[in-house]
Amino acid sequence: MDNNSKNQKGIERTVKSTADNDTVNWKERLNSLDQEKQRHIAEKYYGGKMPWKK
């Protein structure tokens, strides 16, 4: 495996790790809101569902 391939693999892992962290962050943020705000966001953007509760 040449250096370019190794670098690409490292970049792919970093991007996936960042994406996983972002998913956790938005779920934690929405969970930290009071129920009224969560309900409002769920109705407005998620068809009444709360995917951050899963």
Q: Where are the alpha helices (DSSP H) in 1-54?
A: 3-32, 35-45
* HSE-CB for 36 with a 13 A CA cutoff: 0
| Distance separating alpha carbons of residues 35 and 49, to the nearest angstrom | 13
Residue pair 19/11 in contact by the 8 Å Cβ criterion:
no
Chain-centroid distance of CA 46 in Å reads 15
How confident is the model at residue 23, as a pLDDT?
82
pLDDT tens for 1-54 read 666 676 666 666 766 677 778 888 999 999 999 999 999 999 999 999 999 998
Report CA torsion sign: 3, 5, 7, 10. negative
Per-residue pLDDT, 13: 72
pLDDT for position 22: 82
